[in-house]
Structures are given as C-alpha cells and as structure tokens.
Structure 1
Amino acid sequence: MGIKTGTRVSIQAQPDGKLLINPVIEGRSIKTKRIDVTGCGAKALERDIIAAYLHGYDMIELFSERILVEQKQTIRRVCYKLIGHEITEENSNCVVIQDLLNPNELPIKKGVQRMFLIAVSMQKDAVRAFKTIDHDLALDVSHRDDEVDRLYLLISKQFRSILCEGGMPSNTETSIEEYHEFRMAASPLERIADHAQKIANTALKLQEPVNDKVMEEIDKLNAAYTELVKQSVEALFETNISLANQVIDNVDNMRAWVEELHESILKLKSNEIMISLGTVVDSLSRIGDLSSNIAEIAINMAIRDR
C-alpha cells in the first residue's frame, strides 16, 4: 500500500468493530476508461457504458473518428439510466461521461426502500390501469420502471466498490454482510417492477373491458400479493423470522387460488381478454414468488444476527 514512516493515514471504525486504515492519498487519481465506439451498435454501446459504470470509473471517454448521431442518442439515453453520471464534454469525435455523485448521499437501505416504494406503486397502478383501460396511467407505470432500474444499477455499483476497495462508505451503520443481503434483495424488487411494467404494457394493448367478476378476483389477488411484498420488505428491515416465514407460507397457500383463476380465464369467449388476463395473473403470481425470495433473505439475515 506504500505506507512508510510518516505517511498520513485515516482510521475508520467499521460497524463490526474492526478498524479500517487507509493511506490518505492527496489528489486521488481519477479512474478513467476509454472506449472506442467505432462501428459499435446501440445495444453493445449500452452494455459497454453500463459495465464501465458498474466498475466504478470516475470518467468514461467514448471516442471515434466520428461519433454518429444514433450513438450520441444511445449515450444520452444510457446516461439517464445512471444515477450520478452526466455528460460533461461532447464533440464530433469524443463524449465524456463523469461521475458527479457522492456515494454517501444514498445509503443502500434508502436505495432499497425507494425501490420498494416505486415497485409497489407500479404494481397497484398497473392493475388499476388494466381494470379501467387507462392507457395514460399504464404508460406512466411503464416509465417508472426506469427509476427502479437506475436505483438497482447504483446499488450494484456501490456494492462492487465496497468489495474492490475494501471499505464501507463513511457515516454508515450497515455492515458488509448486510450490504450483501440488501444488494441481493434489490434484485427481486427490480423484477417485481419488471412484472408491474409487463402488466402495464398489457393494459396498453387492451381495447375491451374485462369481465367484472374475473376482474374482482384479480383485484383481490393483487391486493394480497401487494401486502405480501410489503410484509417481506418489513421482515427484511426488521430481521423478523416469524413474519418472513408467514410470507413464504402464504405465497404457497395462494397457488391453488391462482390455478382457479387461470381455469376461470380459459372459459372466457374473447381470446384477447383471455391472453391478457393470463399474462396479468402469471405476473402477479411471479411477484408473489419474488416476495418469497425477499423473505428468505430476511431469514438469512435474522439467523446470522441471532
């Protein structure tokens, strides 16, 4: 580490009682990644930028003899997905993206909590948009998925930074083990938002109203799964084993209900409604499975802390 007699170091207490000693390097060098985008398609360019973001580069320089307009549009679109990264320089052959975020500004627990709140609101509004054939609300739900994706990428980046740099952000009460488990919980929350977006996209294609009796059952199913998602996140934050086990048992018990709904849907006359309702029920069922995943993570955390 280059530490010698007289070297200035910082000493930071960790949540588990360990002391982290870091050399205080004046004028820390900026980590820069240069990427040649010549002939690079939109999807490949997006993957390269996100990979550089997750690796924690402070500056990403994209260069070519001539950066195409389509490539610049892709770069701007990807930057919107990345919290803290902004385009700070742009010309015909170079685009510079710089990280302007202080990692201490959004602790991982707040990030996960924010993901949960957005995902649950998406789930509720997606089913409401489907029920009322509200295309404007469905489109709004679909757009909200971008915010969940941004938070998920930020959490992944923060966790990787901790693993590689060997230290926790300052002013945090979260241990490395908790960081790992909250990072794991962020994944099913991101998938819950994806399924809410899938329901919203199904609502966008819907043209005729759904049978009231079937829709009433779907409303009840959605309310039950929404409550299970809430309980799983509560169990995670409170390391509540009893509540987590209750969530898992309730998800298992609801499988028969889901099968009955699928059978009712198959009796409908309209193929459009049948396919759309099948998609909605399937996504809600998968949201239930994802709440079980979060509950299992909560149990792992609680067992470790006992």
Structure 2
Amino acid sequence: METRKVQLSGGTTYTVSLPKQWAEEHGVEAGSILHVDPNEDGTLLVSSTHKADDELVATVPVESRSLDELVRTVEALYLVGYDRICLRDPTGNMAGVAHEFTRRTSLSGLEVLEATETKIVFHNLIEARNVSIRKNTIRLNLIVLSMYRDAIDAVVDGDESLARSVIDRDDEADKMFAMISRHFRRSLSNLQEVQQLGFTRDELFEYYYVARQLERVGDHAEKIARLVTRHAPDLSPELVDTIGGMADRSRAVFERSTETVLSNAPLETAYQALDDRTKLVADLEAIDRDLYEHDSAGNAYLAGLLLDSIKRTAEYGANIAEMGIQRERRTCSATE
C-alpha cells in the first residue's frame, strides 16, 4: 500500500497524485478521463475504464467433458460472477444439450440466449441493482424453516408425501443461496457491485454467512425427508415423541438465532439461543448413548441419523446467533 498527500489546488479543489506504475500499466496519461465512484463505506474507486457496464464473459470448450462436468462448470462460472457463458463444440454435438441443461440446473437469472449444434450461450439477466440481498436471505430463511418443520412432521406422522414435498423444495433453497453467493463473490472484486447492492462489504458478508447456514439447515431437512421416503421409520411412539420434542427445541434455537440478524431482535435473544443450543446438544448426546445401549441396532442407527440432523440444525442456528453478536459489536464500535 502506498500513501499520498492530499493537496489543495486553486483554493477550491483537493488533488492527490496517482502512482506512476499504475498509470503506465493502465494507459493513463495527462488528459485521460478517469471514473471516480464514492462508496458509503468511505472507499473511493478510481478506474481507468468504467467497468460497471462490462460483462464478464467465459468460453468453455466442450471437448470430451461429460454433461455432469459441463453442468458443474456452468454453475461454478455463475457463482463466481460471470454474466455470459458460452459452451463451444466444433464437432456439432450440442443438439439437445440445451434442453438437458435447463432440466438439470436452475439458477436465478441464467437463461439460454442461443443454442445451436456448435454452441450454447447462457446469459444472466438479473442485475445487482435489482437484487435485494436482505429480502432474499429472509425468503431463504422462510423456505428452510418450512422445510425443517415439515420434515419433522413427516417423521412424526409417517407422511411420505409431505417428505417428498420437502425434497422438492430443496432445489428452491439451493437456487436462492446460489444467487446470494454469486453477488457476494462479485462484491469482493467489484466496488460497483457493492454500490448497486446497497450494502457494505461487512454487511454483505454477514448476509452471505447467514445464508450459508440456512442452506445447510435446508440440506438436513432434505436428509430427514429422504430417510422417511427410503426407510419408512418404524420407531416406537415414545421415541417418535422424543425426536419431535428435540426437533422443536432445535427449531426454537434456529428461529431465535435468525431473529437476531434478520429481525433485529435484542442481543439477549442471541445469547439465549446459544445457551439453549448447549443444553440441547447435551440432551441429544445422552439420548443417543441410551439408544445404542438399549434399542435394536437398526432403530438406534436410524434414530441416530435423525438426532444428528436435529443437532446440526441447532449448531447452524447457533452460528447465526454468533454472527448476530458480532454484527452488534461491529455496529456499536462504529458509532462509539
């Protein structure tokens, strides 16, 4: 990092010199036009070209890659921030691939712009200025909370239909998290992205971190639902009641934790969630030990998987509570 002394020019204008090496590398000379973008977090972006309107473009040669590999490649390019992705195959074997792509992947804003026998072009249609990271995180929270609640109900009631609906909703949760992740990643290297999203980088990281925990809870809700559809748990009524009670406590930890970040609940709510998590984990571990000592191996294994997902849901909720505490400390320090 270099430092520059601010000088007063003409009695009305502050000036600062540019590093010579940077100017030469970017073709900046006397008379060049530079773009200056002030940001709310106190940073000032100076660029030799206005990159806000530039698209990030990637071209991927298909070669001998499988369809699964190509899907993962497109998803990765989307997540790191590319606006336009082109798959090229000069041998002309791309017929029908575009349809298979749209069937296998669902990413917000990514549409097939062009599809021929030699290439497929994807284009992202959603601009940062039209995205609300906060609202999308809140929506993801609602989706995941309903998934978790319904997954536990499916276990308690033995409802395979409800379990399948939970599995179906996991795609929606993944889609929402992917969009949040994409814009957070872009904000790390593009200050215009930060400006358009309307949050500081600290705030964007906090929302991304919370969304990551939410996505993990959604994965465990899906895991619970798949246990119902694959194994049709034959657990005793007493054990089902125990699992339901533990799940209710876990959900309470999760809900209190998200309130500290998404609903501006008092800081005490976060501390209470952490205390409740600690007590719940101890009780879950005691139940798990008792299962393997007194129940059949099959039931103990299946119930253990359910209890593990319940425990992890509480742990991910506690991670959110800790982020709520960190955010509160950060904002307090900024105003003191």
By the TM > 0.5 criterion, same fold? yes
Larger Cα Rg: Structure 1 or Structure 2?
2
Aligned residue for 1:16, secondary structure, equals coil
Among candidates 243, 261, 272, match of residue 246 of structure 1: 272
Q: How does 1:211-222 map to 2 (within 5 A)?
A: 211-222=236-247
How many residues matched? 303
**Larger mean Cα displacement after TM superposition, 86-95 or 223-232:** 86-95
Mapped pair 1:183 → 2:208:
yes
2:74 matched residue in structure 1: 49
Q: Cα RMSD between the aligned structures?
A: 2.7
**Shift of the alpha carbon at 1:274?**
3.0
Aligned CA distance change for structure 1 residues 225 and 118 (closer, same or farther; 3 Å) = same
Of structures 1 and 2, the one scoring higher in RCO (CA 8 A, sep 6+) is: 1
**Shift of the alpha carbon at 1:189?**
1.0
Mapped pair 1:159 → 2:184:
yes
**Larger mean Cα displacement after TM superposition, 124-133 or 203-212:** 203-212
2:162 matched residue in structure 1: 137
- Partners of 2:51 and 2:215 lie apart in 1 by 38
Q: How does 1:90-239 map to 2 (within 5 A)?
A: 90-169=115-194, 173-207=198-232, 209-237=234-262, 238=264
**Shift of the alpha carbon at 1:46?**
2.4
Contact 2:137 2:207 in 1 (8 A): yes
**Shift of the alpha carbon at 1:179?**
0.7
**Larger mean Cα displacement after TM superposition, 65-74 or 35-44:** 65-74
Aligned CA distance change for structure 1 residues 180 and 226 (closer, same or farther; 3 Å) = same
**Larger mean Cα displacement after TM superposition, 66-75 or 186-195:** 66-75
Aligned CA distance change for structure 1 residues 277 and 210 (closer, same or farther; 3 Å) = same
**Shift of the alpha carbon at 1:78?**
4.7
**Larger mean Cα displacement after TM superposition, 179-188 or 61-70:** 61-70
Aligned CA distance change for structure 1 residues 294 and 10 (closer, same or farther; 3 Å) = same
**Larger mean Cα displacement after TM superposition, 149-158 or 195-204:** 149-158
Contact 2:112 2:120 in 1 (8 A): yes
Mapped pair 1:290 → 2:302:
no
Mapped pair 1:268 → 2:286:
no
Letter in 2 for 1:248: L
- Partners of 1:17 and 1:239 lie apart in 2 by 28
**Larger mean Cα displacement after TM superposition, 284-293 or 247-256:** 247-256
Letter in 2 for 1:288: A
Aligned residue for 2:60, secondary structure, equals strand
Aligned residue for 2:117, secondary structure, equals coil
Aligned residue for 1:167, secondary structure, equals helix
**Shift of the alpha carbon at 1:209?**
3.9
Letter in 2 for 1:249: D
Aligned residue for 1:148, secondary structure, equals helix
Deviations 1:174-212 (A, max 9, x none): 222111111112111111111111000001023354211
Aligned CA distance change for structure 1 residues 297 and 221 (closer, same or farther; 3 Å) = same
- Partners of 1:212 and 1:77 lie apart in 2 by 41
- Partners of 1:32 and 1:153 lie apart in 2 by 19
Which runs of 5 or more structure 1 residues have no equivalent in the other structure? none
- Partners of 2:214 and 2:129 lie apart in 1 by 22
1:32 matched residue in structure 2: 57
- Partners of 1:27 and 1:300 lie apart in 2 by 32
Deviations 1:259-289 (A, max 9, x none): 23224433334x5433222111110001111
Which runs of 5 or more structure 2 residues have no equivalent in the other structure? 1-25
- Partners of 1:264 and 1:194 lie apart in 2 by 27
Aligned CA distance change for structure 1 residues 301 and 78 (closer, same or farther; 3 Å) = farther
Letter in 2 for 1:75: F
Aligned CA distance change for structure 1 residues 18 and 31 (closer, same or farther; 3 Å) = closer
- Partners of 1:244 and 1:146 lie apart in 2 by 29
- Partners of 2:211 and 2:274 lie apart in 1 by 18
Deviations 1:191-239 (A, max 9, x none): 1111111000001023354211111111111111111111111112327
Deviations 1:50-107 (A, max 9, x none): 2211232221111112336785465224541x11001121122211111111223331
- Partners of 1:251 and 1:77 lie apart in 2 by 39
Aligned residue for 2:189, secondary structure, equals helix
